[in-house]
Structure 1
Amino acid sequence: MSIPSESPTDTGTLVEVDTVAGRVRGAWRGEPGGPGASAAFLGIPFAEAPVGELRFAAPVPKAPWQGVRDALEFGATAQRGDPGVTLIPEPSVPGESTLNVNVFTPRPSAADAGANAGADAGADAALPVLVWIHGGGYFAGSPASLWYDGGRFNRDGVVTVTISYRLGFDGFGWIADAPSNRGVRDWLLALEWVQQNIAAFGGDPSRVTIAGQSAGGGAVLTLLGMERAQHLFHGVYAISGALADVAPERSEAFGRDLAAAAGVEPTRAGLGSLSEARIIELQKQATELGPDSLGSMLEHGLPLGPAIDGDLLVRSTRDSLAAGVGADKPLVLGATDDEFTMAFAEAEKKLRWIPKSLVLKKLGLTRSALRPYLAANPDVAGKGTARVAGRLLTDRMFRTAVVRLAALRGDAPTWVYRFSWPSGTFGFAEHCLDVPFFFDCLDSIAIEPLAGTNPPQRLADEVHGAAVAFVATGDPGWPRYTDASRATRVWDTPSSMVEDGYASVRTLLETP
C-alpha cells in the first residue's frame, strides 16, 4: 500500500466508530478488511480547545457530542506557520481545537460498523498499539505529517495513534498562577484517551508503546520517568531523545523575563492579554541561538520544555530512572551518528582553516578531554573541523545521553542502537534521517532532500520490522544492552551488532 501524497483518506468508503465522547466517521484506504487496508480517523479531539478561559489551563476532556463527527481531515495544530526547524514535512493546520489525535487502524471494531470492521474484529482480535509524539524542540512540529501515517504499521498488525500537544510558551512556559507543564498534561490526557477508546479501533489498551523522535523522544523518556504516567503505556521507543528537565528557577526566570519584555504581569491575566502571535514573537526572540549562546544551551539545555515542577515532575528524568521508575517497561533508545553536524555545513569551508582544538573548546570540550576525544574519533576528525565539531555537538546533545540513560536503567530491559547509514544528500547520518525508515515510508513526500535518491528499502525493512517486533512483543530482536555487554545494533548497509557502539563518546563521560 502506497503512502498518499496529498490526502491520507479516501472518502469513497467510510467507517464509523463509537468513542467515549461520541461517534466518529473515518475513511478506508484500500478494500475494507482486505490485505494492507487501513482506516484513518483524523483530528479527533481529546480535549476542549485551549482558548479563552482554557488558555494556559490544564487540558479539559472533550465534552460529548451528538450525532456523527467527521474525522476525515487533520485537526488544527499548535504549530503556527512552518518555523523550518526540521527536515520532516510537518504542515501547520489553522484553527483553535489543537488538542486532537489521529488513529490509523486495519481493524476498527465498533459493534455496529458492519462489514467495514472486518470479519475478525472484536476484543479477541485486539492489536498492539503505537502512540507517536512528534518532535520539534518543544516549540514546533506537527502530527499532521504524511511521514507519520500509520498505514505501514497497520499493514503489520499495529494500530497507530499520533497526538498533538501545546507547544512553546503555551505548553511549557512558567506562569505564576497557571498549571505547570501544560504540554505534559496534554500528553497524559491523550494517553488516557487511548486507554479509554483504542479498543473501539481494534487496539489493545494493555499493549501500548509510546514512541517519538527528538523532542518527541524526550517526551517519551520524560513519561517513562513519571510515576503518574506508568499505567498509561507498556513500552517506550525513544529516537534521538532530547530531554529538557528544565530547572525550576530557570523556568520561572524565563517566564518572568518574557512577561517583562511584553510589559505585562507574569500571570494568566497578564499574558492572556497578549495575542498568540505576540507570545510566539517574544518566545522566538528569547530563544534565538547565536555563536555566544550555543555553549550556554549545551550546558543548561533548552529553556522551554518539561520542567521539574515538584508536581508532575518531582525530579529529573535521570534521577527517576536511577530510582527505578519505569524499570518494568522495555525501552529502546538510540541516535543517529551525526545528529547536528548540519549546523556547521554552511561554515565548513571557513572552519577548515581553524584548528580543531579551538572550535571544540568553544563547544565545551575540556583541555584534558581534547586529545582522547580526537583519538576516539579518528575517522570523523580526518574529515575536517566542521565534521568533528558536528560530532561533538551530536555527542553532547544526544549520544552521551544514550549511554547515561542505558546505564541508569541497570537490569531493566533496555536495547540500544545507532543509526549510521549516511544520507545520500548530506553524506552523514543527520537528525531526522531515521524517521522515514522507522515508518517505512521511503516512498512518501520530501524524502530526497533528507536521504538522497534511492535510499535503501532493505534498511527500512529492518528498522521498521524491529519497531513492529518491539511494539508487538516488547523485544526488537537483538540482544539487550547491559553494562557487561553493551550490545548495540548499528543500522547501516549492512547492519551489524557491535559490542559497544558508543565507545567513542565515553571520553566525554570519563575525562574531567
Structure 2
Amino acid sequence: MTQTSTGTGTFVEVDTRAGRVRGAWRGRPDAPGTSAAFLGIPFAEPPVGVLRFAAPVPKAPWEGVRDALEYGATAQRGDPGVTLIPEPSVPGDSTLNVNVFTPRPERVEPGTDEALPVLVWIHGGGYFAGSPASPWYDGAAFNRDGVVTVSVSYRLGFDGFGWISDAPQNRGVRDWLLALEWVRDNIAAFGGDPDRVTIAGQSAGGGAVLTLLGMDAAQHLFHGVYAISGALADVTPERSEKFGRELAVAAGVEPTRAGLSTLPEERILELQKTATDLGAEGFEDMLENGLALCPTVDGDLIPRSTSDSLAAGVGADKPLVIGATDDEFSMVFADAEKKLRWIPKSFMLRKLGMPRAALKPYLAANADVAAKGTARIAGRFLTDRMFRTSLVRLVQVRDDAPTWVYRFSWPSGTFGFAEHCVDVPFFFDCLDSIAIEPLAGPNPPQQLADEVHRAAVTFITTGEPGWPRYTDAARATRVYDTPTTTVTDGYAGVRPLLAG
C-alpha cells in the first residue's frame, strides 16, 4: 500500500495481479470508520469487437498506475434502470469491472486474524438493466463493520444471455464467475480474506447468487450466500434458442456471431425491447415461464435447474440466508386500486392463474391481506407466484443444509406495503443516501436498518445471521418489521400454492 495526500484528499495504491491501482480514502485514513474506494477496476477485456459474444477474457496486465477513482462503464445504456433504486448508466466499452470498498487497503495473509470477510454484491434489474454504480451499493457501512465489499458488473440482456448458434451460452454467468475469480486472486491485496467470501444480490442479483449456489463450477469461489428477493430463471434451452432465432429473424441476420455482430448495439437493444414487451400475452408468458433473457440450463455450464442441483446436494455445505418482501409486485395494481375494488377477488385471482383448488385455501390463509381489497390480494398472489413459492420450494429441497429464512414486512411510508427493493437500503444501512423517500417514504426506521444490516454482517462474519436455522419441523422465520420478531412458518400464506 502506498498513500499520497493532495489538496483534495488522500490517494491509496494497491497492487493487483494485473497491475497497480489508485483509489481514494473517504475521510482521514486514521479516522474510525473510514474506508477507501477503488472504482471501475477491469476484471476482463472490454466485450466489444471479436469479444462481444465471447466468454470474458481476463484483463491483460498494464504498466504504471491505473486510476480507480470513478465508476467504470456500465452494461446498462442510457436508461437509469427499471426500479426505484438509483442505478446510473456510465457510457463506455469497458463494462466488466469491480468496485472495491475496504477499511484496510493493505495486503493480508488469507486465513489470519488480519484478513477481513468479504461481501460480493451482484446487482438486479431483470437481467437486462441495473448498475453496480448505485450509491446504495457503496460498501461504507459494511466497511465500518469490518467487511470488505465488492460490487461487480456483468453483461445484460441479449449480449449477456441471448442464444447464438456458435457463441458460448450464459455469457453473463461467465462474467460472474470471472469476477469471483478476480476476487479470489486479488482481494487479499485489499485486506480481504478469499477464504471467507459471501455472495449476495437482490432480485435478478438474488437469482444470480442462487444460480451460482447450484452450479458445480462455482463452488470453490464463495463460502456463503445471501439471496434477497431472488428471481430465479432457469430458462430451458428450447425457449432460449427460440428467442434467439426469432430476434435474428426480426433483425434480418443469421443467428450467428458473424450475423449478429453486424448489428450496432442500439439495434440489438431495440429488438430486445420489442421482443420482451410485456403486453397482456407477454405478461402471461412471463408469469408462466419467467423472463426469457436469463441464465439458461445449457447442459454445460448449467447442466440442470437450480432446484434440481440443490436437491442433488450441490451447495449443501454453503450457509444460505434467503427471503423476500411481503408484497414484491403489489405496485403493479396500486394505481388501479379503486377500480379493482369492484372486481371480485376470486375472479381476479383466477385471471392471474390461481388454481381452482387452491382458491379458497389461499384466501383463508391470507385473510388479512384479502380484507384490504382486490388490488392487495392480487398483488400478494403475484408476489407469491413469482418469488415466495419458489423460495419455499428451494428451502425444502435444501433439506438439512444450513439455511435461514426471513420476510421483510415493514410497510413503506410511500406505498403502504413492503414492495420490491424497499429492503435494499436497510441491508446496506444507507437510509441517508439519495432517492430513499420515493421508495421508503419519509423517516424510515433506522432501528430496522440496524437490525437488518447487523444480521447481514453477522452472517458474513460468522456464517450465521443470529436467529434459528430453518428446519421442516420449526420453520423459523425472521420477520423484519417494527418490531422485528421470529415466528413459526412465516410463509404459511403460500402453502396452498405448493400442492400442485
For normalisation by structure 2, the TM-score amounts to: 0.97
Q: Determine the structure 2 residue equivalent to 1:89.
A: 86
Q: 2:430 aligns with which of 407, 417, 441?
A: 441
Q: Which residue of 1 aligns with 2:325?
A: 336
Matches within 5 A, 1:21-36: 21-36=18-33
Aligned to 1:71: 68
Letter aligned with residue 159 of structure 2:
D
Q: Where do 4+ consecutive residues of structure 1 move more than 4 Å?
A: 120-124
- Residue 368 of structure 1: how far off its partner (Å): 1.3
Which of the residues 371, 374, 385 maps onto 1:385? 374
User: Does 1:101 find its partner at 2:119?
Assistant: no
- AA aligned to 1:304 is L
Gaps of 5+ in 1: 1-9, 112-119
Contact 2:132–2:152 (CA under 8 A) maintained in structure 1: yes
- 2 CA distance for matches of 1:475 and 1:272? 47
Look up the SS of the partner of 1:380 in the other structure. helix
CA–CA distance in 2 between the matches of 1:81 and 1:351?
A: 35
CA distance in 2, matches of 1:395, 1:123: 43
Q: Distance in 1 between matches of 2:330 and 2:396?
A: 26
For residue 425 of structure 1, what is the aligned residue in structure 2?
Answer: 414
Per-residue CA deviations over 1:472-508 (Å, capped at 9, x if unaligned) read 0000000000111100000000000101000010000
Within 1, Cα distance between the matches of 2:324 and 2:314? Answer: 23
Distance change >3 Å, CA 33–CA 204, structure 1 → 2 = farther
Aligned partners of 2:426 and 2:71: how far apart in 1? 23
AA matched with 1:310: G
1:275 matches 2:264: yes
Contact 1:99 1:164 in 2 (8 A): yes
| Residue pairs, 1:133-212, within 5 angstroms | 133-212=122-201
- Residue-by-residue CA offset, 1:243-284 (whole Å, 9 max, x unaligned): 010000000000000000000000001111001111011001
Could you tell me whether the CA contact under 8 Å between 1:135 and 1:141 is conserved in 2? yes
- Paired AA for residue 56 in structure 2: P
Structure 1 residues 250 and 490: CA distance shift in structure 2, 3 A: same
Q: Is 1:348 the counterpart of 2:337 in the alignment?
A: yes
Structure 1 match to 2:3:
none
Change (3 A) 1:146 1:287: same
Q: Per the alignment, do residues 220 and 205 of structure 1 end up closer, same or farther by CA in structure 2, a change over 3 Å counting?
A: same
**AA of the residue aligned to 1:292:** E
Q: Distance in 2 between matches of 1:335 and 1:376?
A: 18
Shift of the alpha carbon at 1:154?
Answer: 0.2
Q: CA deviation at 1:83?
A: 5.4
Contact 2:362–2:497 under 8 Å retained in 1: yes
In structure 2, what is the equivalent of residue 293 of structure 1?
282
1:11-53: per-residue Cα shift (whole Å, max 9, x none)? Answer: 5100000000000000001211320110000000000000001
CA contact (8 A) 1:30 1:36 kept: no
Q: Is 1:374 aligned with 2:371?
A: no
Do structure 1's residue 238 and structure 2's residue 227 form an aligned pair? yes
Assess if the C-alpha contact under 8 Å between 2:429 and 2:449 holds in 1: yes
**Deviation digits for residues 286-338 of structure 1 (CA, Å, limit 9, x no counterpart):** 11112232222111111010000011100000000000000000000000000
Distance of 1:80 and 1:332 partners within structure 2? 32
Q: How far, CA to CA, are the matches of 2:259 and 2:452 in structure 1? A: 48
Q: Contact 1:123–1:202 at 8 Å: present in 2 too?
A: no
- Larger mean Cα displacement after TM superposition, 50-59 or 25-34: 25-34
- How far, CA to CA, are the matches of 2:459 and 2:112 in structure 1? 21
User: Aligned partner of 2:259: which letter?
Assistant: G
Separation in 2, partners of 1:402, 1:495: 21
- Partner amino acid, structure 1, of 2:64: G
User: Aligned-pair distance for 1:351?
Assistant: 1.1
Q: For 1:279 and 1:352, how far apart are their aligned partners in 2?
A: 41
- Report the counterpart of residue 128 of structure 1 in structure 2: 117
Question: How far has the Cα of 1:402 moved from its partner?
Answer: 1.4
Q: TM-score, normalised by structure 1?
A: 0.95
Match for residue 284 of structure 1? Answer: 273
Aligned equivalents of 1:142, 1:61: Cα separation in 2: 21
Tell me the equivalent position of 1:509.
498
User: Aligned partners of 2:491 and 2:169: how far apart in 1?
Assistant: 35
1:55 to 52, 55, 68: 52
Cα distance, 1:354 vs structure 2:
1.2
Alignment counterpart, residue 262 of structure 1, candidates 251, 265, 288: 251
Structure 1 distance, partners of 2:427, 2:362, is: 31
Aligned-partner SS, 1:161: strand
Query: Residue deviations 1:52-71, cap 9 Å, x none?
Result: 01010000000000000000
Return the alpha-carbon distance in structure 2 between the equivalents of residues 55 and 121 of structure 1: 35
Task: Confirm or deny that 1:38 pairs with 2:35.
Answer: yes
- CA distance in 2 between counterparts of 1:423 and 1:48 reads 41
Q: Counterpart of 1:17? A: 14
SS in 1 for 2:281: coil
Shift of 1:84: 3.9
Contact (CA 8 Å) 1:338, 1:394: kept in 2 or not? yes
Give the number of aligned pairs: 495
Indicate how the Cα distance of structure 1 residues 352 and 122 shifts in structure 2: closer, same or farther if over 3 A, else same.
Answer: closer
- Partner Cα distance (1:317, 1:101) in 2: 26
SS of 2:417's equivalent in the other structure is coil
User: Cα distance 1:123–1:201, how it changes in 2: closer, same or farther (>3 A)?
Assistant: farther
Structure 2 CA distance for aligned equivalents of residues 360 and 259 of structure 1: 37
Over 3 Å counting, the alpha-carbon distance change for 1:418 and 1:121 in structure 2 is closer
Alpha-carbon distance between aligned partners in 1 of 2:355 and 2:48, rounded to the nearest angstrom: 47
For residues 213-232 of structure 1, what are the structure 2 equivalents within 5 Å?
A: 213-232=202-221
**Cα 1:365–1:121 shift into 2, 3 Å:** closer
Report the AA paired with residue 29 of structure 2: P
User: 1:134-185, CA deviations, whole angstroms, 9 ceiling, x for partnerless residues?
Assistant: 0000000000000000000000000000000000000000000001100000
| Deviation sequence 1:409-460 (CA, Å, 0-9, x none) | 0100000000000000000000000000000000000000000000000000
